[in-house]
Structure 1
């Protein structure tokens, strides 16, 4: 009976040591699939289609934006 319990303890310790490595490998594989899908232009499964924040048209910024006095900081931009 002691031999069986010793075997169970060794297997439990081995599982505790291997679990984080297996989890990391599975996560890395999932990220690789997402990157590959993004490079091919397809959406990865489980993602929603949202506009990218950088795709908005640029607003013209007035030269006095951000000043407390409301006066321009320098010469007007062209």
Structure 2
């Protein structure tokens, strides 16, 4: 290989590497979008097939500690004023 051929090969490899770096984020995005679409399609099929899903009314109705703290603060304000 002559010096010119080596330089041309190196230039092509650098150009190809830059092309890959520029295209890679869009390919990753396409793959991610397809995965999300597949998950949404599977969830829609599960709902249309009549499978039970958890409803918000099935969740525990116990207030969180932050709610109790806020309620206590409100009642103290009412008593003090």
User: TM above 0.5, one fold?
Assistant: yes
Distance in structure 2 (CA, Å) of the matches to 1:57 and 1:25: 35
Among 7, 10, 16, which residue is 1:11 paired with? 16
Larger radius of gyration: 2
The residue number in structure 1 matching 2:41 is 36
TM-score normalised by the chain length of structure 1: 0.59
RMSD, matched Cα? 2.9
Alignment partner of 1:68 is 2:75: yes
Cα drift, residue 56 of structure 1: 1.9
Is 1:56 aligned to 2:58, yes or no? yes
Higher helix content, 1 or 2: 2
The number of residue pairs the alignment matches comes to 57
Give the whole-Å Cα distance in 1 for the aligned partners of 2:13 and 2:32. 28
Any stretches of 5+ residues in structure 1 without a counterpart? Answer: 43-50, 60-64, 70-78
